[in-house]
Amino acid sequence: MAYTKSQERAIHSIGRGNLQIIACAGSGKTEVLSAGIADLLKRERDKGLKPANIVAFTFTEKAAGELKERIHDRCKGALGSVQGMAEMYVGTIHGYCLNLLQSPPLYRYLKYRVLTDVQQRLLIDRFSSQSGLTSVPLLKGGTLRRWVDSRLYQQVLSIVTEEATPLNKLPTGVAEAIKNYRALIDKHRYLDYATIIAEAVAAIKSVTALRMTLQKSIRHLIVDEYQDVNPLQEALISELHVLGASLCVVGDDDQTIYQWRGSDVQNILTFPSRYQPVRVIKLNENFRSNSKIVDVARAVAERNTDRLVKKMESTNAQPFENGDLLAMQLADTDAEALWISGKIKGMQGWEYKDTPIRPSRGLSWSDFAILLRSVNRDAGPITNAFTAAGIPFVVGGMNELFSTPEIQAIRECFYFLSDFAGPGGGITKKHLVEALAGGRLGVNRNQVRRGVVYLEGQRLKITNKIISELYPQPLFQGLLREMGIREESIDTSHGAGVGEVVYFNLGKFSQLISDFEQIHFKSKSNELLGQFASFLCYQAPDYYPEGWQDTSQVRPDAVQIMTLHQAKGMQWPAVFIPCLRRNRFPSKAPGGRTVWHVIPQLAVPGWQRFVGTVEDERRLFYVGLTRAERFLFCSWAPVKDNQQQRNVSAFLNEFTGTDCILTKEPRSKA
């Protein structure tokens, strides 16, 4: 494989002392890391270096999977063998720390289970008193409330742990609540993400046997997405370096977008002064986007003042024609959504090359992405327009899941099973038949009948005992099986590719069930199903955070609608960034309760990071721009009944600052 000079330097520098690789968007950093690791193993094979002596941290499991596969391929080519590669750790920081806590010489957490963020919130709400939630005092009076403030309490717990805030600096009631939460998860043998890392760092500092083990085993540490590490993660990295590991950090300060979770951009900005001596290599070449997208994105990033000096450069990865970049103003949000849907339908089948050397193909639905600052607030007009136009789409995370016909139908099934009476009253057999028949599930009358008979039979088995076959997941899977629901049987009159979309949404619902069962698995069947029905009715639609990442690796052939945060690490031939209004993007400071209504700002060093600035928002805009390969369309429209949403965003003005941006549609392609 041919590499640029800067990529060659980076590849051959990994493992030769501390190294900082500044990787601009689309610069091929995954390839550089995988080739660099293969080069390192080949270079130091005679010195006894083994794969187990290398640790590589990634930000997500998805990124870890991609890096593992690439390392496997490069090592096979460079070494002729992949023997021992399974012993190299490639994964998230919390995954690595969990391995430490559950391996010799530590055994304390061997039987503990890990809580995802959603499962942690479910635990806090289920045990609202024991978790400390309902006893947390507000600085100006009152306490936090079950269901309503559990997400806020999670933020408090995370900040206190990740910032290593001493409990004696907090209000007494807050400190006591946190102690209660920590006792609760220990009692139930759970670990949350922050606690995993905190416990691992504490063990590395205090357990001599562990320090000796790590000192012998780790010779090289590689950290991807270094710009997003928080103080606790940085403490782990520092400890491993002190034990003798050379450091290679890879990142781009222009893509620091998780400061609201505690990411500290100063880590990457000050790395060379904290880990001297350090070699710095910049990967400036963008192999993803056309030259004009690169120019525009670079100009936007350079408006920020607190950044490393660099200049993203184009490799002409994609061609450019007038009209490939647009900045549009529409009359209102419905008109904006209608324009987007028309644009996507009109571009279906356009000739496209993924790379200059690959054969041409036609654009399909999944080649388009709609990236929003807030899906909850702005996706409605767009999804309505797509539905009317027959455009298949999926919404990232759990956003909009409960507005889909198939999930509404499944929810009614659980209401029926538990005899749950929500705001609209109980579900009769007649209502159930109507829901299943109209749920976009591709079932006929006989299939609906079999489904109803199955649910009636299972309902008769519900008692005040723990019965595994009556857990929500077996019931859900049994219903799909009894009705014979298959992707290929979905009625295409609902639109092209609907079968894929329906199955994708059913998969997300299955994940929701798994999250709920993880916390309620010891409940009696009658209590469990009643609690689950209540959760589906009152909490589930808004329970998952907007930027939640689902675990599915398969994406249907459908337009992707997601937040800009969710788009990190992804790319598409055509990207739309609509709703560029003042007070939406850059976003207005949120109202309502925040963590600073619970803990004093001065108790948390660097509390300003969690508040966010215009520069933070501009980094997020830059990330959105650089997801586009060939076509990039930004737009805005006023919200006429909202005084705060009637003016254009400053970011759209920054985007239109070059001659290549058209502000009206060009003449249609033949």
Q: Helix 498-520 and helix 405-418: axis angle, to 10°?
A: 40
What confidence tens digit (pLDDT) does each residue in 71-87 have?
999 999 999 988 899 99
pLDDT at position 494 is 52
Q: How far apart are the C-alpha atoms of 402 and 509, rounded to whole Å? A: 9
Query: pTM of the entire structure?
Result: 0.94
pLDDT tops 90 at residue 107: no
The token pair at 663 is 């502000």
What average pLDDT does range 515-523 have in this prediction? 94
Contacts of residue 652, Cβ cutoff 8 Å, sequence gap at least 6: 327, 580, 634, 635, 636
pLDDT at position 493 is 55
pLDDT at position 590 is 74
What's the mean per-residue pLDDT of the chain?
Answer: 94
The token pair at 229 is 């590490």
What confidence tens digit (pLDDT) does each residue in 374-404 have?
999 999 999 999 999 999 999 998 888 999 9
The token pair at 316 is 């002409």
Count of Cβ atoms closer than 10 Å to residue 475 Cβ:
22
Confidence of residue 362 (pLDDT cuts 50, 70, 90): very high
What average pLDDT does range 226-241 have in this prediction? 97
The token pair at 126 is 């289920």
Q: How far apart are the C-alpha atoms of 22 and 17, rounded to whole Å? A: 16
- Give the largest CA-CA distance in the chain: 75
Question: Could you give the strand order of the β-sheet that contains 278-283, starting from the edge strand earlier in sequence?
Answer: 89-91, 54-57, 220-223, 246-251, 18-23, 278-283
What residues are paired with 522 via a beta bridge?
none
What average pLDDT does range 356-372 have in this prediction? 95
pLDDT tops 70 at residue 233: yes
pLDDT tops 60 at residue 670: no
pLDDT at position 486 is 79
Q: How far apart are the C-alpha atoms of 115 and 122, rounded to whole Å? A: 10
pLDDT tops 80 at residue 65: yes
Confidence of residue 496 (pLDDT cuts 50, 70, 90): low
Provide the residue type at 414 as one letter.
F
What confidence tens digit (pLDDT) does each residue in 259-284 have?
888 888 999 999 999 999 999 999 99
Closest CA to 479 of 417, 529, 528, 569: 417
pLDDT tops 90 at residue 498: no
What average pLDDT does range 468-485 have in this prediction? 96
Contacts of residue 457, Cβ cutoff 8 Å, sequence gap at least 6: none
What confidence tens digit (pLDDT) does each residue in 581-606 have?
999 999 987 778 999 999 999 999 88
Q: How far apart are the C-alpha atoms of 15 and 35, rounded to whole Å? A: 12
pLDDT tops 80 at residue 487: no
Closest CA to 337 of 126, 588, 561: 561
